[in-house]
Amino acid sequence: NAGVTQTPKFRVLKTGQSMTLLCAQDMNHEYMYWYRQDPGMGLRLIHYSVGEGTTAKGEVPDGYNVSRLKKQNFLLGLESAAPSQTSVYFCASGQQTQYFGPGTRLLVL
Amino acid sequence: AQSVSQHNHHVILSEAASLELGCNYSYGGTVNLFWYVQYPGQHLQLLLKYFSGDPLVKGIKGFEAEFIKSKFSFNLRKPSVQWSDTAEYFCAVNAFSNQGGKLIFGQGTELSVKP
């Protein structure tokens, strides 16, 4: 089992560009999450999903959209990237215990 | 609002020293508690978790944590640290609510172990 995987690993964007981060899990989990990690702030929840076709806002949802068309995939979209979205993005899956992916490092210039 | 507080932002220890990292949370109901570790350049890995039962929980790599309900605390301990324990440690709380299994994370504690 691969667990939780994320693509890409690293990306540089210019302000205003768009991109999609992909998260995939092979553990048949219903719950999936997107977090961002910034120095001194721990991890903050962006959006989450409690099942295929459902999404909900987390703590810091502004500027992001998500989709959960398939149970195993959870996509995070940035429609118009801003420098404030420079961060490391982690996907996780699981309900009682969450398992994390390797992260995507995003730099917005 | 639920919150998690880690008291130490950066801890520096010598090898073989004992470690205790503090974690307090604010939530009056039933909680699940976690400690995650993030080694440099890597993703978060689960160290240990508490759901119910014995409040002293043992995890991987010799770590343990004690849940003290009256103090809303879940401190992480290790009797003798190694250089390989250098990492960032995150306490997290999953408070039962109607908002799924969301985790609330503390700010993290960076541990540096000197050889």
Give the pLDDT mean for A25-37: 95
Q: What is the pLDDT of residue B45?
A: 93
Q: What is the pLDDT of residue B63?
A: 97
The tens digit of pLDDT for each residue in B12-68 reads 999 999 999 999 998 877 889 999 999 988 889 999 999 989 999 999 999 999 999
Q: Which residues from chain A sit within 8 angstroms of residue B34, using beta carbons?
A: 97
Q: What is the DSSP string of A15-39?
A: TT--EEEEEEESS--S-EEEEEE-T
Q: What is the pLDDT of residue B7?
A: 87
**Is B107–A101 a contact, with Cβ atoms under 8 angstroms apart?**
no
Report the residue of chain B nearest A40, measured CA to CA: B107
Q: What is the pLDDT of residue B28?
A: 73
pLDDT band with cut points at 50, 70 and 90 for residue B97? low
Does the bond joining B40 to the residue before it have cis omega, within 30 degrees of 0?
no
**Is B44–A58 a contact, with Cβ atoms under 8 angstroms apart?**
no
Q: What is the pLDDT of residue A97?
A: 87
